[in-house]
Amino acid sequence: MNLSSGFTPDQDRIAFDRAELGAILSVYGRMVAAGEWRDYAMSFLREVAVFSVFRRAAEHPLYRIEKRPRMRNAQGQYSVIGMDGRILKRGHDLPTVLRVLEKKLIRPVD
């Protein structure tokens, strides 16, 4: 690899910006406080940025929040994907897409 070209390995990676991470971590914090979630992981790849949520660190993720900029002009670049791989919500506005997770906090009171 020619480092004199100004190329750094992270330049070709998709990442969440500060506002996006703020929205995700806001939901994450509420779910941790409710005892639903305990851990997370982030992956920044060439095509997608992924925020994975875990109940326990040794499990498969409960949910994946993905940012795929190539989908921006189609169904939207943000999506929430369940443990089984189903897309629970997709759209152009991250806070709107994240609302599908907040519905998990609403439970009937016995």
15-19, 41-45, 46-50, 73-77: the lowest-pLDDT one: 73-77
8-12, 29-33, 72-76, 85-89: the lowest-pLDDT one: 8-12
Cα 13–Cα 19–Cα 23 angle in degrees, nearest 5: 105
What distance in Å separates the CA atoms of residue 95 and residue 85, rounded to the nearest whole number? 21
**pLDDT tops 90 at residue 107:** no
Q: What value does the mean pLDDT of the chain take?
A: 86
pTM of the predicted protein model: 0.82
**pLDDT tops 60 at residue 32:** yes
94: tokens are: 């991250």
